[in-house]
């Protein structure tokens, strides 16, 4: 059973274009227990929305989990881990934070309620709805 997620990245640091160019990458740098626990819960083949935070504030594409949680070598304390993700497809139309905030079926998401969380689960209904808004098939 595929689970669905959302991961955030500031495009100035790491953008969807960077992700597409490099294909498969290490989702390193998470330094928050809740986000890290979400990474830990990801399974191979799970899908995640790729969200541009700060600049853009919109979901721009879909990535797939291709390697399970393992230690993040960039964490000097060796506490946090990461997964590997691969670009799957871009949204035909990016779905903005503004849209999600004003959508009765979507404004329950942690993206709105917990704005600082950088890795979060997305329920199936919300996944389907956002895919529809983005002009892609779920």
Partner DNA sequence: GCCAACGTTGGC
Binding site for DNA (CB under 7 A): 8, 10, 31-34, 53-54, 57, 97-98, 101, 114-118
Smallest Cα–Cα separation from 3: which of 92, 72, 68? Answer: 68
User: Quick one: 72 exposed, middle or buried, by C-beta within 10 A (0-12, 13-18, 19+)?
Assistant: buried
Nearer Cβ to DNA, position 23 or 71? 71
State the minimum distance, in angstroms, from the CB of residue 112 to DNA: 8
Decide: 112 and 8 in contact? Cβ < 8 Å. Answer: no
Nearer Cβ to DNA, position 2 or 33? 33
State the minimum distance, in angstroms, from the CB of residue 63 to DNA: 16
User: Quick one: 86 exposed, middle or buried, by C-beta within 10 A (0-12, 13-18, 19+)?
Assistant: middle
State the minimum distance, in angstroms, from the CB of residue 133 to DNA: 17
Nearer Cβ to DNA, position 31 or 128? 31
């Amino acid at each position: 059973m595929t689970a669905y997620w959302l991961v955030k990245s500031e495009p100035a640091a790491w953008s969807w274009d960077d992700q597409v160019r490099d294909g498969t990458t290490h989702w390193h740098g998470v330094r928050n227990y809740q986000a890290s626990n979400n990474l830990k819960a990801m399974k191979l083949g799970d899908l995640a929305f790729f969200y541009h935070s700060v600049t853009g504030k919109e979901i721009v594409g879909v990535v797939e989990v291709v390697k399970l949680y393992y230690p993040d070598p960039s964490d000097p304390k060796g506490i946090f881990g990461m997964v590997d993700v691969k670009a799957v497809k871009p949204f035909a139309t990016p779905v903005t934070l503004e849209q999600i905030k004003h959508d009765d079926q979507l404004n329950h998401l942690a993206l709105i309620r917990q704005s600082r969380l950088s890795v979060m689960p997305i329920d199936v209904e919300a996944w389907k709805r956002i895919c529809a808004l983005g002009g892609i098939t779920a």
